Structure 1
Amino acid sequence: VRMSPVSHYLLVFLSVLSLTPVIFYPFGSVAGDTVNIAVEDENSTLINLWSPFVFFGRTYNRTFVNNNGQLTFNQSSSQFISHYFPINGSEDIIAPLWTDVDVSMNGIISYQQYSTGSVLTRATRDINQYFPGLSFTAIWVLVATWDRVAYFYHTGTETSFQVVLISGSDLSFILMNYGDCAVAYNIVQAGYDTINSTAYFKIPGSDNGSFTPNLKNSTNVNVPGRWAFRVDGGPDQNNLQGTQLICS
């Protein structure tokens, strides 16, 4: 039986949806994302933020989505060999999965900002669930997604992860979401670091490439595959009460 073009594209669309982890915020063409050009290492996208984002006392109006799985603020980064936190360096870094990524082989890196709509409603609900007592209302969200990206020099590897920046009033949060992640043969780690490492956090076990597939089972908010942090510099930034460590 020959399938009509409409049925074929519907099947492809549904198969993509089935591969998308439930915990991921909307991304890709369905969300109207802007897509990075597939250039290995050197690719970084400057995003002018619609709303200021406070990161441990410093306020930023822009960020760089870097190819190799991290966000920086003052300058782009093509660094593909991550230094383990704490770096004691001169840059604030948000690293959902910092390693040597090569989207020229496969995968897409995309991003989208929101100031209205259902994504803000979802972010408000999530933050109030993970950080009760704040009566938080999200006014801005940035979603950056690495969808089925490959590791450099390892064809056929596919790894999906996402970072969500959320702000409202003077409060700032990040979510790190993990789908299926391949074993990493290069140096890898997940977490965040600040200038001079006055604050930093490394997801336990994330610096061991053989444990990378278990990121989707780890959490600090009792939601497998999700880590949530308050990062404006206020209390409870690590929210470790519900931590489930990575297991083999």
Structure 2
Amino acid sequence: MSSRSDDGSSPLIPLSQPFVYFGNTYHQIYVNHNGHLTFNQAWYSYTPYSFPAHSSRDLIAPFWTDLDNRWNGTISYQQYSSGSVLQQATQDINQYFPNLGFSANLVFIATWDRVAYYPNTGTEITFQVVLIAGGQSSFILMNYGEIAPTTQDIQAGYDTVNSIHYFSIPGSFESNDTTFSNTSNVNVAGRWAFQTNATTSTTDVPSTTPAPTSDEPFPVDDFCIDSIFCKGQGLTGSVYMLSTFSILVFLTILNN
């Protein structure tokens, strides 16, 4: 679990398997508290810019805005290199992106559970990003639960160095910020899926609509915090009505 700090970040997290991101192969990642992931160093930016940014940074941003987990909410991360989570990830990626014959060997999950906007302690935003890798293929799932309204700017999507590849999820930099929980490119409310090992296109709008899938979340130990299917009602359901103490105890058991 990440520390309680405004504009903070996780320490460097070694990945158990490499993750290919548009031509670059990464073996580490950072979970930054303001709603984004970076690969080469922690990044504390709380003011989003719109994609494409033509910057010098590879960036995965499920919900980039000014967040604060000091008083309410938790930011956690977990990775898997074997077991039922990989089996389920393999099944879903092959459903979303057919004819690839994909097999997952890494699932990395970062979850922002009921984190507040800064400085509005008591507001709650819940979302998740899942990195799935296997061989030279890689994918991202972005899952959205309850999103409190805000007047802050939000950027959701991803960008690369010089914006050779980028995607901005509809609702970014728009006033109706709660739409993230209701939209999708895979016919599952609150979920967006992207293949991130491509090296040819410039604006990575999905060229085809992946096959629809069930709206039912996939539970792992009955905790949405470790589910690659946390989204929509899955993120705001009873599995997330846990005290911080209960989550800490559960994660301690997992890590021992």
Partner of 1:155: 121
Partner of 1:6: none
Q: Measure how far apart 1:178 and its partner are.
A: 0.4
Alignment of 1:173-212 (within 5 A): 173-208=139-174, 210-212=175-177
CA RMSD of aligned residues (A): 1.6
Q: Measure how far apart 1:85 and its partner are.
A: 0.8
Q: Measure how far apart 1:87 and its partner are.
A: 1.1
Over residues 131-178 of structure 1, what are the superposed CA-to-partner deviations in whole Å (9 max), with x where a residue is unaligned? 000011111110000001000011221010000000001100000000
Partner Cα separation in structure 1 for residue 8 and residue 128 of structure 2: 20
SS in 2 for 1:39: coil
Q: Measure how far apart 1:74 and its partner are.
A: 1.2
2:193 equivalent to 1:228: yes
Number of residue-to-residue matches in the alignment: 208
Partner of 1:239: 206
Q: Measure how far apart 1:43 and its partner are.
A: 2.9
SS in 1 for 2:75: strand
| TM-score with structure 1 setting the length | 0.80
Q: Which of 26, 30, 50 matches 1:64?
A: 30
After the TM superposition, list the runs of 4 or more consecutive aligned residues in structure 1 that deviate by more than 6 angstroms. Answer: none
Q: Is the 8 A contact 1:221 1:240 kept in 2?
A: no
Unaligned segments of structure 2, at least 5 residues: 211-256
Q: Measure how far apart 1:82 and its partner are.
A: 0.8
What is the identity, as a one-letter code, of the residue corresponding to 2:7?
A: D
Unaligned segments of structure 1, at least 5 residues: 1-34, 244-248
Q: Which has the larger radius of gyration?
A: 1
Partner Cα separation in structure 2 for residue 230 and residue 153 of structure 1: 35
Q: Is the 8 A contact 2:183 2:189 kept in 1?
A: yes
Q: Is the 8 A contact 2:23 2:199 kept in 1?
A: no
Partner of 2:42: 76
Q: Is the 8 A contact 1:44 1:77 kept in 2?
A: no
Partner Cα separation in structure 2 for residue 94 and residue 213 of structure 1: 20
Partner of 2:3: 37
Moved more, 157-166 or 35-44: 35-44
Q: Is the 8 A contact 1:174 1:228 kept in 2?
A: yes
Partner of 1:103: 69
Partner Cα separation in structure 2 for residue 69 and residue 189 of structure 1: 9
Partner of 2:88: 122
CA 1:235 to 1:101, structure 2 compared with 1: closer, same or farther past 3 Å? Answer: same
